[in-house]
A and B are shown apart, each in its own frame.
Chain A
Amino acid sequence: MKATYLTQFIMNACSLFAVWLVLSGRYDLPHVMIGGIVACGVAWLNTRLQCSSVHHFSLGRLLIYAPWLLGRIVASSLHITKVILSPSLPIAPKMIHYQMHLKPELAIVLLGNSITLTPGTITVEVEGDHLLVHALDEASCEDLTSGRMERRMAGVFKEEASP
């Protein structure tokens, strides 16, 4: 599916208009009309013809990934809570250089986002396919260093990550 300027523009305008409808909460003619005009204007200012790496992406697989990520967030949150509340404060912070095998830019963005969203690990720097990650201790970075998180993300994009 090649994204042309027109489909891109229409998608942008529609999503902005949906946000307007949800946030304004008034459905009389003047408000809806103002919303439509503003949505088209903002979409016109912002649409560029460059997002073409979206075609591997499947929303259904992302809906499988999201609950798994939420489970990981809960697990590592409990772990971090235990670390913070224990009197001896058993932290062992470290920097991890991680080599990715993911190709699509969107996948790299989502992986970095997931790493930062999970308590205990944070993405410090992204350069090409090289990630610099700061972790609070050994247990919190295990998902990443074992490659589990990247394999899951690769599953969203229907690509095989070589180990």
Chain B
Amino acid sequence: MDILAVVLIVIGLFFLTVGAIGMLRLPDVFTRSHAVSLTDSLGAFCLLMGLALYQGVGINMLKILVVLALLFLLNPVIAHATIRAAYRVGVKPKAEEHP
């Protein structure tokens, strides 16, 4: 069980690192948000699942799962708010328009 937990944590850290690299490499705020959503969703998911397994069944595992559920509900809201604010104040995305 501990080995599975460590493997999950390492996978999570890998995605966090990739997200950070993407943050540096991608050109503008819209594309960077995609790199951040990588760390938000799969990175945080693997990391917290690993921690939950490492804790074993109990109150701490339940707390971590609550944090995970809140993260999945709230992170898209925050990302959407940031991006919408950028769009409304007139940051132009380097993107082609599609109907």
Q: Does A94 contact B83, Cβ atoms closer than 8 Å? A: no
Classify chain A's interface size.
35 or more
Q: How far is the CA of A49 from the CA of B40 in the complex (A)?
A: 33
Q: Does B84 contact A77, Cβ atoms closer than 8 Å? A: no
Which chain A residues numbered 120 to 163 have a C-beta less than 8 Å away from chain B?
Answer: 120-125, 132, 134, 136, 140
Q: Does A23 contact B80, Cβ atoms closer than 8 Å? A: no
Q: Which residues of A contact B25 (CB under 8 A)?
A: 84, 89
Chain B interface residue count, CB cutoff 8 Å, equals 38
Q: How far is the CA of A23 from the CA of B60 in the complex (A)?
A: 9
Instruction: Decide yes or no whether A56 CB sits under 8 A from chain B.
Output: no
Instruction: Decide yes or no whether A38 CB sits under 8 A from chain B.
Output: no
Residue with the greatest number of chain B CB neighbours at <10 A, chosen from A77, A94, A118, A123: A77
Q: What is B's interface to A at a CB cutoff of 8 Å?
A: 15, 18, 21-22, 25-26, 30-31, 33-35, 37-38, 40-42, 45, 59, 62-63, 66, 72-73, 75-77, 79-80, 83-84, 87, 93-99
